[in-house]
Amino acid sequence: MGGNPRRSYDKVGRELPPATVGGERTQGRRLAEIICHPCVRFVEVPIDDLPPDLPIPDICLRYRCSKCGGKNLSSRMSISEHYAQIREERERRDG
């Protein structure tokens, strides 16, 4: 089955809608990670100035690795920001 490698598909091959910048902003998220696969390196970038309808997996298409110059990149929401939000919610809940 061919398809966009930056997309997820269900069991019958239908593309699942990706998360978008706007959707993540409504959840209070402000950072994405760009991963360079040849360098095994990542950086966090702000999403505040990106279009709200931009799919999270497509953020990487706007970048090039500053170390190796490569374009073999992927993007996802910031894991460190995700865990920080979990810690904050837990502290609010548990006092």
Select from 50, 72, 55 the least CA-distant residue to 8. Answer: 55
User: Per residue in 52-92, pLDDT tens?
Assistant: 999 999 999 999 999 999 999 999 999 999 999 999 999 99
Residue 23 is given by DSSP the state H
Report residue 6 CA to chain centroid gap: 11
pTM score, whole prediction: 0.82
Look up residue 71 and give its two tokens: 């374009």
Q: How far is CA 59 from CA 44, 71, 89, in A?
A: 11, 12, 27
